[in-house]
Amino acid sequence: MEDFKLIDNYLMIRLPDEIDHHKSVNISAKADRYILSKKVGNVVFDFERTTFMDSSGIGIILGRYKKISCFGGKVYAINADNRIRRILLMSGLQNIVEIVNP
Amino acid sequence: MIEIIENKETGRVTNEMRIEFAAISDNESFARMAIAAFITPLNPTVEELSDVKTAVSEAVTNAVIHGYENKGSLEDKVRMNCRLFGDVLEVEITDQGVGISDIKQAMEPLYTSKPELERSGMGFAFMEAFMDNLEVQSEPDIGTSVKMYKKIGSSSWIDSEE
């Protein structure tokens, strides 16, 4: 299971072991509830536990980016392994997401 | 890749598996586990295993949300047919859904017919990138078939070196 934590103006999302379309629907919906109700400025995706991600993960990140970027919010990806990093780069996400090196 | 399969010597089927499952999103992870188990005897690298799982995940997700329009009906079925030609994997994911009218457009990176579902439009691009070969056939109102090939066990060059 993914979990959510608010630290100041940052929504930290600890992503699950596997991110596919099935899981992504839930993660996006929960994240949006935080973004709307808690007035979150920035979102941090933590891939520490994640061993599998398909293009659905890209959808989650792009979707959240669209929701917060118009208010000047930023999106970060942390603890992404080489595999996840490759998928992020292949989709051109480095232009909108700050991929933080561990 | 195709040459290997069409060749009489190397194109011999060495293993085969067919499964059919309901077109519901829970089965995306099932399909990944099934393909991973099927190719395990070939000693795939972590990278290869991950590549195949990602490609299968994309194809099955497409069947569920585009082919069968995310209805989640147990009546709708996705088929996964796998064959091994030695160390070459052939995996075919078929649905009898709505089909694709413009395959070329559908395969363009970042194109999605369902932007409201937050699809990234990278599905076919990932299948292409992670597998050695990709063939897509589709007919509106009849369905879609995605056939992919990948050579497993790239470490075999060590043997041939000797």
What pLDDT does residue B149 have?
Answer: 97
B27 catalytic, yes or no? no
Q: Which of B58, B83, B90, B92 is catalytic?
A: B58
B81 catalytic, yes or no? no
A50 burial type by CB count under 10 A (0-12 exposed, 13-18 middle, 19+ buried): buried
B54 burial type by CB count under 10 A (0-12 exposed, 13-18 middle, 19+ buried): buried
Q: Which residues of A touch B131 (CB under 8 A)?
A: none
Ordered alpha helix ranges (H), B7-76: 27-39, 46-62
The model's pLDDT over A52-73, given as tens digits with 9 standing for 90+, comes to 999 999 999 999 999 999 889 9
How do the domains of chain B map onto residue ranges?
2-152
Question: Which helix (H) or strand (E) covers residue B118, if one does?
Answer: none
Q: Which residues of A touch B65 (CB under 8 A)?
A: 21
Q: How far apart are CA A61 and CA A44, in angstroms?
A: 10
Interface of A with B (CB under 8 A): 18, 20-22, 24-25, 28, 52-56, 58-60, 62-63, 83, 87, 90-91
Q: How far apart are CA A5 and CA A12, in angstroms?
A: 5
The count of domains in chain A is: 1
Note down the domain range covering A56: 3-100
Helix, strand or coil for residue B139? strand
- Asked if the Cβ–Cβ distance from B118 to A24 is below 8 Å, we say yes
What pLDDT does residue B117 have?
Answer: 83
Sorted by sequence, the CB contacts under 8 Å of residue A99 that are 6+ apart come out as A76, A77, A80, A85, A88, A93
- Asked if the Cβ–Cβ distance from A20 to B125 is below 8 Å, we say no
Q: How far is B162 from chain A (nearest CA, A)?
A: 31
Question: Which helix (H) or strand (E) covers residue B143, if one does?
Answer: strand B143-151
Length of chain A: 102
CATH code, residues B2-152 = 3.30.565.10
What pLDDT does residue B161 have?
Answer: 46
Q: How far apart are CA B11 and CA A33, in angstroms?
A: 53
Average pLDDT over residues A70-92: 94
B18 catalytic, yes or no? no
Kindly give the confidence (pLDDT) of every residue in chain B, 162 residues in length, as a single tens digit, with 9 standing for 90 and above.
777 777 777 789 999 999 999 999 999 999 999 999 999 999 999 999 999 999 999 999 999 999 999 999 999 999 999 999 999 999 999 999 999 999 999 999 989 998 888 888 999 999 999 999 999 999 999 999 999 999 998 654 545 444
What pLDDT does residue B98 have?
Answer: 97
Of B25, B121, B126, the CB nearest to A21: B25
What pLDDT does residue B154 have?
Answer: 64
Of B28, B50, B119, the CB nearest to A20: B28
Residue type, A15: L
- Asked if the Cβ–Cβ distance from A21 to B64 is below 8 Å, we say yes
Structure tokens at B18: 């067919």
pTM listed for this prediction:
0.92
